[in-house]
Structure 1
Amino acid sequence: MLLSWLAALGAGLFLLHLGQKLLFPYFWDDFWFLLKVVRFGTRMSLNKCRGELVTMLDKFLSHAERQPQKPFLIYEGHTYTYQEVDKRSNRVAHVFLNHSSLKRGDVVALLMSNEPDFVHVWFGLSKLGCVVAFLNCNVRAGSLLHCVRTCEPAALVVGGDLLGSVEEILPSLPKEVTIWGMKDSVSQGIISLKEKLSTSSDKPVPRCLHATSSLKSTCLYIFTSGTTGLPKAAVISQLQALKGSAGLWAFGCTADDIVYITLPLYHSSGSLLGIGGCIELGATCVLKKKFSASQFWNDCRKYNVTVFQYIGELCRYLCKQPKREGEQNHQVRLAVGNGIRSDVWRQFLDRFGNIKMCELYGATEGNICFMNHTGKIGSVGRTNFFYKLLFPFELIKYDFQKDEPMRNEQGWCSRVKKGAPGLLISRVNTKNPFFGYAGCYKHTQNKLLVDVFKKGDVYFNTGDLMVQDQENFLYFWDRTGDTFRWKGENVATTEVADVIGMLDFIQETNVYGVAVSGYEGKVGMASIILKPNKWLDLKKVYEQVLTSLPAYACPRFLRIQEKMETTGTFKLQKAQLVEEGFSLLKISDPLYFMDNLKKSYVSLTKEIYDQIMSGEIKL
């Protein structure tokens, strides 16, 4: 009797398991991932109930006390322990305490490349309760000046290698902004922070200076191009910083991992997911000034790297490298990032071994993120009933001609069917707030959709089109608005158009991104109308974009038109231009290509076109 009962129970369990595999194949993947999400939220709630508002900085200080000699940063062969980073950041804090009038809540802008002092200055200012604004170290001239003015800093700290960018705009900077340079010898009007650090105290700074009363208080500004116009300073709260720093942990990283970061720290990926992720774990970070495809695997072997951060372009560059022996001879087990194409994903795994690719999706300022916890190739994540309860979002119909969400006769938006692209919007509520941008409130307002499905509801507009398949996997489809992505960076078309429009022979400029076979994202192209009786000075256009824009934002192609098509609301038409790209077969207008060797734009000949398409000319 017992044997037959056990046999029946075994058969029942087997059928149950078989049914789960067939009907709910991702049940356990979803279950364990959601359990982690709930654990993280519960941990924060318990801390709050105990009156302990633990920030990312508090977690770092805790590690510095518990494991002082453990390596935290490894940079160019030098190791910086948790204790050393703590003490160096104390020195930074004491310099500003003794030689400035900075106080809690003041904004300090940080313009610095990837280097240990980026972290030291960031943490040192955070210990004083200052809000640190990360400036993109590629921006220059008017764009840099705009960023500084937007965040209204009391001080600006500049890396030694970037002082030239600040000296260019020094006369135009607000007089109340104090400039500190990380160099022994600096120009007039700039204070040497490096010199003062040598005599500063490394004693701990009182916690009361940075202790927070709310996790919704602002700790950082991280600049993002958004969907239109010049860069905007996204408000990053203590809560957002903590959520961002939990990414590596959520994907299964541990304190024993060594994380390789080549992404810029001025982006949330490098600073929050990368540095913050290592702090959440108590792990070690290998920091690189810039990504190098040729040195990548050598570095991974040299430092015993187990996890690296990527953007899609990074993986593509690695796949384009000449094949070498022993390419799978490394200890990398995880890669965390976003924007990798399915074909590159497969090629990367075939070539470099069994590495779990942990793709994710999230906007710096957004209140929604997805994490591909199953490893499904091409997907940015997966949703289900329970996930949508925690993070309510929708994919809605989008009018591509009007460049806005569709609304029916009653004024409501409509959800798309599975398999169809829709605009990703995320519900704004107390649990998932949207903190917006510093400065002009209009920028914050423009990212919100109201009265979407019912009166009074509010959603964050991501500006991204996504597709959800029948198995509830989500895939990035395209970006709306006047932004495209190139070299892992968002490019605001209006910013580029404004720069070109400053030339006295340009009447109108329409900037857009066009696809190029074999490349991630879209490369910049500008359609131009000349003023009457004016001629095109290709060298001047080249000099203008090169001196005023980051390299990734410079249009590689120019198209000269006699007139431009506009929409009914007088917006410049882009769909047809994007579709035609820089094809010599489709376009009769004059086309030009940016030639860095000749330091000018040159005629796009068939020979140059063929070399671009074959990959002989690199973009």
Structure 2
Amino acid sequence: MYLVSILFTSLALTPLLLKAFFPYFWKDAFYLADLVRILMKFVLRRRRKPSFMVLDRFLEQSVAHPDRSFILFDNKNYSYRDTDKRSNKIANALRRHSELRAGDTVALFMGNEPAFIFTWLALAKLGCPVAFLNHNIRSRSLLHCFNCCSAKVLIAAAELQEAVMEVLPSLREQGVWVCLMAKRCDTPGMEVFSDQVEEAPDTPPPQSLRSGVTFKSPAVYIYTSGTTGLPKAAVVNQNRLLTALAVLDSTGVTPGDVIYLNLPLYHTAGFLIGLIGSIETGSTIVLRRKFSASQFWDDCRKYNVTVIQYIGEIMRYLCNTPKRDNDRDHCVRLAIGNGVRAEIWKEFLDRFGNIQVREFYASTEGNVGFVNYTGKIGAIGRVNYLHQVRKLFPYVLIKYNTERDEPIRDTSGLCVEAPRGETGLLVSKITDIAPFVGYAKNSQQTEKKKLRDVLQKGDLYFNSGDLLKIDHDNFIYFQDRVGDTFRWKGENVATTEVTDILTLIDFVQEANVYGVQVPGNEGRIGMAAITVKEGKQFDGNKTFSHVASYLPAYARPHFIRIQNAVEVTGTFKQMKVKLVEEGFDPTCVTDPLYILQDGQQSYTPLTGPVYRSVVSGSFKL
């Protein structure tokens, strides 16, 4: 009887002891169990014959739930069956009217609309990889991105006709078949395609068309801004796409959920997490052309949205909207994304209610990721058992010299691991389970992301370029990025690309581009220190016209500083640290300063009052 009493007492005390000494025990255990479940599902799918791809998962959902809503867009409802048939029509029209063959890459130049999803599915059914072009890019950048993936076909939305016309001569020289999702176009060399699609049958194309597709075959190309030059095309192969099915599944999303997708489909978050994740769970997508803070919650109420995606900026924009009595009147239970600051996270929950926030860390081309499944405010993830054993996903944080922009190594030439609680560069071992495929037609940049001799001679790691910190409770925190890329409006901006564009202006001698912080804003906004050619003068109108023609809005320098000379290091690298620290305060910077004024379509002098309006938030950036 005494032993029984002890047993019952121990059982009663166990939850209290776990809560006191291991507060995250049950969350860790349940998350680990979920990961094992998902891993087993992935392994079983990899063993299926014929090979099982993401397209097959969509076809499964279309058979199992044909009438379930898949896409809600502009008061239109497309079921899984509708989507399947519409993609069949596009696939059959391409087979009939183009010379497209299985394995040929197709560039898709569209914004957020159902046709993007229909066309991608159609091309998957034809066994063709797809390159997602950012619909904001133009001229040189557009042509560069197209050429990166060796595409033989360009399919563009009707509203992007003018952008295509800018590069059409070059495309025609390459023999590219260009088609517009429109009913009319008088431009020679550009085919209209909408009528052909309507006339095509909706029967499935032969499965044999994709018989040559393997797990190592490219599935999609997603462009990412690097630290040097123009965007790079990250290769996402079929195996990587298959693993993306697990993301929403691991966060508890169910077939009954309605997911609000307002992030660009050409980006990793919108496509891999929002769209691919919805295909796995059989959920419904509410698709918007672009994010709108003023309409966000009205849409959520209208469509009974239960899951939202975010990047840090979206949270802040929502918190900056005027408060309403119905701020908590919605069905949203889960928010999934990355890049939100701790103070914005708290403000978001205080204002909009008890929404589970699942912050994660990942990159388009990276081979490691983390999820903050506990909801710990400010953390981007948590180290779990699979990470700790370092067998499935080996990673390490290493000491990094930010001044010299390189890892710190010991006397034997190996990297030095950062102690727990200190900031370090995240690197992840490249293995068969965690591969790094790299960038299309860019072996130099692919090699730059590899780091050798990390923990032992001859090993090979992926260099994330991100500085992280792991605390003593195993929570992971993002600290900063290394290199020359800064992030603004949720987009990565490569400073060298902006520099190249600025130096095309006839009066600009040199340009040094960097990102500066603005109080109350996520990320860093673009600023450029330039020198003017002898005998020339800075022209704000011409500068505005030039950057507006060549750069998307998020990449345009908002502040310009006129210098007598651009400072460089002994190895002729442009010095940015001091410029970043000095910022754009006219009381601290003696050089002439200018600010981008969209309303005046010019760069105008940055005066004290204008500076104060920017800092206070009354000047819209």
For residues 500-531 of structure 1, give each alpha carbon's deviation from its aligned partner in whole angstroms, at most 9, with x where no partner exists.
01112111111000000100100000010112
**Distance between the aligned counterparts of 2:588 and 2:36, measured in 1?**
53
TM-score by length of 1: 0.98
Amino acid at match of 1:559: R
Q: Check whether the contact 2:220–2:236 (CA below 8 A) recurs between aligned residues.
A: yes
Say which is worse superposed, 519-528 or 220-229, in terms of deviation: 220-229
Q: CA deviation at 1:564?
A: 2.4
Shift of 1:385: 4.3
**Match of residue 176 from structure 2:** 177
Q: Which residue of 2 is the match for residue 598 of structure 1?
A: 600
Q: Is the 8 A contact 1:107 1:154 kept in 2?
A: yes
Match of 1:510 among 512, 529, 543: 512
User: How much has 1:11 moved relative to structure 2?
Assistant: 1.8
User: How far apart, CA to CA, are the structure 1 residues paired with 2:428 and 2:227?
Assistant: 16
Q: Deviation of residue 211 (structure 1)? A: 4.2
What is residue 128 of structure 1 aligned with on the other side? 126
Match of 2:60 in 1: 62
Partner of 1:510, secondary structure, is: strand
* Contact 2:511 2:566 (C-alpha < 8 Å) held by counterparts: no
Partner of 1:470: 472
CA contact (8 A) 1:245 1:274 kept: no
Match of 1:163 in 2: 161
Q: How big is the shift at 1:431?
A: 0.7
Name the counterpart of 1:392.
Answer: 394
1:66-215 alignment, distance < 5 Å: 66-173=64-171, 174-186=173-185, 187-211=187-211, 214-215=214-215
CA contact (8 A) 1:53 1:212 kept: no
The answer on 1:357 being equivalent to 2:357 is: yes
Instruction: Give the stretch that moved more between structures: 102-111 or 400-409.
Output: 400-409
Please, which moves more after superposition, 46-55 or 571-580? 46-55
Whether the 8 Å CA contact 1:156–1:177 is kept in 2: the answer is yes
Distance in 2, Cα, partners of 1:407 & 1:176: 50
Instruction: List per-residue Cα deviations over 1:569-609 (Å, max 9, x = no partner).
Output: 22111111111111223211111100111111011000100
Task: From the superposition, tell whether residues 406 and 569 of structure 1 become closer, same or farther in structure 2 (CA, over 3 Å).
Answer: farther
> Which whole-Å CA distance do the structure 2 matches of 1:538 and 1:345 have between them?
38
Deviation string for 1:266-316 (max 9, x for gaps)? 001111100111100011000001111111111111101000111111111
SS where residue 198 of structure 1 aligns? helix
Whether contact under 8 Å (2:161, 2:180) holds in the other structure is yes
2:278 aligns to what? 278
Separation in structure 1 between the aligned mates of residue 93 and residue 266 of structure 2, nearest angstrom:
23
> What are structure 1's unaligned runs of at least 5 residues?
none
Give the Cα–Cα distance (whole angstroms) in 2 for the partners of residues 229 and 14 of structure 1: 62
3-state SS of 1:402 partner: coil
Question: 3-state SS of the aligned residue for 2:465?
Answer: strand
Secondary structure, in 3 states, of the residue corresponding to 2:81?
A: helix
Describe how 1:282-321 pairs up with structure 2 within 5 A.
Answer: 282-321=282-321
* Cα distance in 1 for residues equivalent to 2:47 and 2:103: 25
C-alpha distance in 1 between matches for 2:423 and 2:274:
31
Query: What does residue 570 of structure 1 align with?
Result: 572
2:37 is paired with a residue whose SS is: helix
* Cα distance change on mapping 1:59 and 1:50 into 2, 3 Å: closer
Matching residue of 1:337: 337
> What CA distance in whole angstroms lies between the structure 1 residues aligned with 2:537 and 2:46?
66
* Shift in Å, 1:245: 2.7
RMSD: 1.3
Report the more deviating stretch, 162-171 or 278-287: 162-171
Secondary structure of 1:228's counterpart equals coil
- Structure 1 partner of 2:38: 40
Q: 1:316 to 1:188 in 2, by over 3 A?
A: same
Alpha-carbon distance, 1:440 to partner? 2.2
Partners of 1:440 and 1:448 lie apart in 2 by 13
Tell me the CA shift for residue 44 of structure 1.
2.1
Whole-angstrom distance in 2 between the partners of 1:391 and 1:30: 17
604, 614, 617: which one pairs with 2:616?
Answer: 614
Deviation at 1:400, TM superposition (A): 1.1
Deviation readout 1:142-194 (Å, 9 max, x if unpaired): 10111011111010000111111111121122432110101111222111111
Deviation at 1:567, TM superposition (A): 2.5
Q: Secondary structure at the match of 1:528?
A: strand
1:579 to 578, 581, 589: 581
Superposed displacement of residue 10, structure 1? 1.8
Maintained 8 Å contact 1:73/1:80: yes
TM-score normalised by structure 2 residue count: 0.97
Matched residue, 2:258: 258
- 1:230 matched residue in structure 2: 230
Give the match for residue 525 of structure 2: 523
Matched-pair contact (CA < 8 Å) for 1:293–1:317: yes
Q: Distance between the aligned counterparts of 2:308 and 2:607, measured in 1?
A: 40
The answer (yes or no) to whether the contact 1:315–1:344 under 8 Å persists in 2 is yes
Identity %: 48
Tell me if the contact between 1:227 and 1:463 (Cα under 8 Å) persists in the aligned partners: no
Structure 2: distance between partners of 1:458 and 1:418: 23
Equivalent in the alignment of 2:8:
10
The one-letter code of the counterpart of 1:317 is Y
The match for 2:412 is 410
Equivalent position amino acid for 1:199 in 2: E
Cα deviation, 1:57-83, whole Å, max 9, x if unaligned, reads 110011111111110000011000000
The answer to whether the 8 Å contact 2:227/2:496 transfers is no
CA distance in 2, matches of 1:440, 1:596: 36
Q: Which amino acid aligns with 1:6?
A: V
- Unaligned stretches of 5+ in structure 2? none
* Partner Cα distance (2:592, 2:45) in 1: 64
Aligned residues: 617
- Alignment partners' CA distance in 1, 2:381 and 2:123: 35
Q: 1:407: Cα distance to partner?
A: 1.8
CA distance in 2, matches of 1:520, 1:246: 29
Cα deviation for residue 27 of structure 1 reads 1.9
Alignment partner of 2:495 out of 493, 496, 500: 493
Q: Matched residues in 2 for 1:14 and 1:427: separation?
A: 43
8 A contact 1:405–1:413 mirrored in 2: yes
Q: Is the 8 A contact 1:546 1:554 kept in 2?
A: yes
Q: 1:379 to 1:52 in 2, by over 3 A?
A: farther
Q: Which moved more, 1:182-191 or 1:115-124?
A: 182-191
Tell me if the contact between 1:424 and 1:466 (Cα under 8 Å) persists in the aligned partners.
yes
Q: Deviations over 1:420-453 (max 9, x none)?
A: 2211111101110001010121111111101112
1:206 deviates by: 1.8
Q: Secondary structure at the match of 1:69?
A: coil
Structure 1 counterpart of 2:30, one-letter code: W
Q: How far apart in 2 are the matches of 1:58 and 1:590?
A: 59
Deviation (angstroms), 1:398: 1.1
Contact persistence 2:148–2:233 (CA under 8 A): yes
- The aligned amino acid for 1:533 is G
Structure 1 ranges of 4+ moved more than 6 A = none
Contact 1:92 1:120 in 2 (8 A): yes
TM superposition shift of 1:210: 2.2
Deviation at 1:616, TM superposition (A): 0.8
Distance in structure 2 (CA, Å) of the matches to 1:438 and 1:50: 29
Contact 2:32 2:384 in 1 (8 A): no
C-alpha separation in 2, matches of 1:207 and 1:85: 17
| 1:50 shift after superposition | 4.0
- Aligned-residue offset at 1:212: 5.8
